[in-house]
Structures are given as C-alpha cells and as structure tokens.
Amino acid sequence: MKKKYSLKYGNGSISFFLNPKQVIGEIKMKQFASMADPGVEILKALNSPIGSLSFKENFKAGDNVAFIVNDSTRVANSHQFLPVMFNELNSIGIKDEDMFIIFALGAHRPMRQEEMVKEVGEEIAARVKMYNGDCHDESQFTHFGTTSFGTPVAFHNRVANADKIICTGSVLPHYLAGYGGGRKAMMPGVAWYETIRKNHSMIFAPDSTSLRLSGNPVYEDQIEAVEMCRPTFLLNVVLNEKMETVRVFAGDYIKAHIEACRFVDEIYVADIEKEADLVIISSGGYPKDIDIYQLHKTMIHGWHAVKKGGVVIVVGECRDGSGSETYERIMAEHKTPERVEAVTRENFQVGAHKAYGVTSLMHKAMFVLVSELEANLAEMLGFTPAGDIDRALEIAFEKLGRDPEIIVMPQGSFTLPRLRS
C-alpha cells in the first residue's frame, strides 16, 4: 500500500505516492504553537529586551529613525510588529514623518509598490515613506572604512544619516553566514555592492557554513562592518512551518540575535541516523521558492541528507526564474562545476557565488528540478529538469533502482539535517 505525500509548491502543492517502507525519515520542524496574541508578546519583548535599555529608552522626540525591513524573499511578519513599534515611538513624541522604512534588498531587485504594502501592511504603508536602494549606485552610499578582512564598508545614505537605526527580520540557518537575521539587515541588506561582494567572496572558506558564528569569517566581517554604523535596536522573529511567529527576540543587535540563534537550533535542526539514497525536498512554497537564488538554501539542506552518488528531487516553483542575470551568464559560459569554481575564484561577483554554490552541491548528488523553469534553462543551470514529480521519481529510480531509501523534507528551507554521529 503506497502512502500519499504532499509538498508545497509556490502558492499550491504537489502530491505523489511512495512505499512508506522505503521512507526512512520525514523531516519536519519541531512543533511550536504560534503566539496567542502577537501584539502582547512583541510589546513584552520591547519592554524587556536582551542586552539593551527598554525600546523607548533608546529614543527621544525629534529622532529621525530608520527601520530596515525584509524584502519579499524573506518572511518576517513585519506587518505584525511594525505597528507596535511605530506606536511606541509615537508615544514618546516621535512622529510618523520622522520615521521611514528601507528594505533590506542586498543585491536583490527593487520591491514593487504592491510588494512593499504587502510586506509592511496597509496601515504602515499609509503612514510612512518606504524606500528601495540600488546597491550598484555608489552615490547612494556613505563610506565608513575597511574591515580587517579587507572589506570596504559603505551603507545606504538614508541609514547612515539617520539618528537611530532599527534592524528587523527573521532568523534561520544560513548556509554562508551561520544564521540569518541580526546584522544581516545592515549587511548585506543596505550595503553597497562592493561591500556585499567582498564579504560574500569568503564563500570558499571552510568555516563559512551553517550554524556557525564564532570563527565564521563571513559573520565576523559583517559584525566588524556593522559596528562602524551601529544599529540602535533589533527585533527578530522565529517562525513555524505555517509562517506564524512563535518567538520574538529584541534588544542589542548582537546579543538578542545570539539568543535567537540558540532557539533556531532547537526548532529547525533535525538529527538523522543516516543519509538517504533519495531526498525529496520542498522549500515550503512561496516566497522561499520564488527563484533558484532562494531555492539554493533548500538544496543545501537536501545535500546534508543525501548519500554521495544519490539523488535530490527539488520541488520549487521559481516564478521569478533564476533570480540573477550574473548567475545565468556564468552558467551559460562555463559548463562544468570545475570551471564555474575556477572563474568564481578568479573574479568573484555576487550571482557568480550562487553559480558556484549550486554547482558545488552537484559533486555529491544529482539534482532533479521540478519547477516552472524552461527545461533548457534548468539544464543550463546544472539541473536535471523534470516536467512533473512523477517524471522526477522515474529519473531517480532509473539511477538508483526501484528500492532506494528515501527522506522526504516538506519544510526544506527551515529544516537542516544533522547526522547524529
């Protein structure tokens, strides 16, 4: 008797059937209920912050306040906490016109107006000005110096010139910087392209990896840079598989973030007894599968669960394509993982690091992609394209035989497998 499995795909889902005797694991997040009253919990975190004065004590009437907020590629439920924070600042005499939102785009595309409104909520969108930055336009950035890692540090003028800076976002394991959230709102969020490029060029360092902060050069470089334009306050959230907020961390941008990372280990890291021949993984749907650029993080989590020589079936809609013209250009010009790595090392560019990051995984396993990408584009990007999940399974069985051991990961962007040994 076969069992039905379902994976999120964009705003919908994809279903398939497997012999449950072959499934050695279905990896999911640990269950944490959403907050019964988010407003109450947010206010509690603001009034009892980690390593900081209470939220309102950090500000005074007349301050010009910059709020750095996630773009559409990352969910933080900003619409929940922003009204609370704005109202708290209103209560001490800071007017709406003295506050603004700038989106943490990094090197991503600008937000469209409707995306901005959706991200922050209609109430806040009507109250304050909202801005995109362009990391490639150096005139938009203020220079601060150079880190000990050799990274030139420049942040967006609007942030650099604000009296006070508030970083917001969500915390997840991050394949390169240890964990998301915290200082990443600033760097890469509102940093100049050269700042981002030099920092991300440390992708080749073995200590630039998930779940590591101390000794991780990407993280330590980011902290050095952000200390040159230190944020006043941080509010980060951790979400469950339904994208509901389960915990709020507020206070000092380093100390509060470290506490959030400890909780992330508890909720997102999943110990496994052994790797599988076949891993079937979804990021958990939109926006985590908006493009290959974002799907890469899910691929890494699948990579951690698969045996060498195995197959990973990645289910991701990719409505925005690859997510990077540079990534596509590198893959079009250089056909093998070896050449991609060589050219990335020679002339590192943001986007090129994604080409390297994706293809480097393919040394261990075949990656079969079920997406909306044209087959020729998916193939150019290094994947084995499949028109649907049934064809993807056939490709896997053709390589592995009909009786592989299987791990299913329906929340792949959230769950990081770790061998128990």
pLDDT of residue 288: 87
* CA–CA separation, 237 and 114 (whole Å): 23
Average pLDDT score, the chain: 94
Q: How far is CA 5 from CA 14, 17, 303, 367, in A?
A: 8, 6, 20, 20
pLDDT greater than 80 at residue 352: no
Indicate the fold that domain 3-28+275-419 takes in CATH.
2-enoyl-CoA Hydratase; Chain A, domain 1 (3.90.226)
Instruction: Give the list of residues 6+ apart from residue 401 with CB closer than 8 angstroms, or none.
Output: none
Instruction: Please say if the pLDDT value at position 378 is more than 80.
Output: yes
Helices vs strands, H then E, count in the chain: 14, 20
Q: Give the pLDDT confidence score for residue 99 in this predicted structure.
A: 98
What is the rounded CA–CA span in Å between residue 106 and residue 69?
11
Mean pLDDT of 330-356: 86
Report the range of poorest mean pLDDT among 62-66, 124-128, 240-244, 378-382.
Answer: 240-244
Show Cβ contacts of residue 380 under 8 Å, excluding neighbours closer than 6 positions: 328, 331, 332
**So what's the pLDDT on residue 34?**
85
- How high is the pLDDT of residue 354? 82
Q: What is the mean pLDDT of residues 402-413?
A: 96
- Count CB-CB contacts under 10 A for residue 333: 11
With cut-offs at 50, 70 and 90, classify the pLDDT of residue 414. confident
Does the pLDDT of residue 314 top 80, yes or no? yes
The residue with tokens 């590629």 is 73
**In this predicted structure, what is the pLDDT of residue 143?**
98
What does the pLDDT look like over 42-93, one tens digit per residue?
A: 999 999 999 999 999 999 999 999 999 999 878 899 999 999 999 999 999 9
What is the dotted CATH code of the domain comprising 38-266?
Answer: 3.40.50.11440
Distance from the Cα of residue 61 to its chain's centroid: 34
**Lowest mean pLDDT across 30-44, 190-204, 206-220, 359-373:** 30-44
Q: Is residue 350 very low, low, confident or very high in pLDDT (cuts 50, 70, 90)?
A: confident
User: Does position 29 have pLDDT exceeding 90, yes or no?
Assistant: no
pLDDT of 418 > 80? The answer is yes
Res 337 pLDDT > 90: no
Distance between CA atoms of 295 and 119, rounded to whole angstroms? 20
Residue ranges covered by each domain of the chain: 3-28+275-419, 38-266
- Is 80 exceeded by the pLDDT of residue 96? yes
Q: Which residue has the tokens 């508030």?
A: 166
Of 15-29, 328-342, 354-368, 393-407, least confident by mean pLDDT is: 328-342
Residue 368's pLDDT is: 98
Mean pLDDT of 203-231: 96
pLDDT at 351 (0 to 100):
73
What value does the mean pLDDT take over residues 337-365? 87
Q: Does the pLDDT value for residue 421 go beyond 80? A: no
Report the range of poorest mean pLDDT among 157-166, 255-264, 317-326. Answer: 317-326
pLDDT tens profile 135-182? 999 999 999 999 999 999 999 999 999 999 999 999 999 989 999 999
What local confidence, expressed as pLDDT, does residue 211 receive?
92
pLDDT score of 36 more than 90? no
- Is residue 209 over pLDDT 80? yes
Q: Is the predicted pLDDT of residue 326 greater than 90, yes or no?
A: no
Fold identical between 3-28+275-419 and 38-266? no
Q: State the pLDDT at residue 277.
A: 98
Alpha-carbon distance of 67 to 102, in angstroms, equals 6
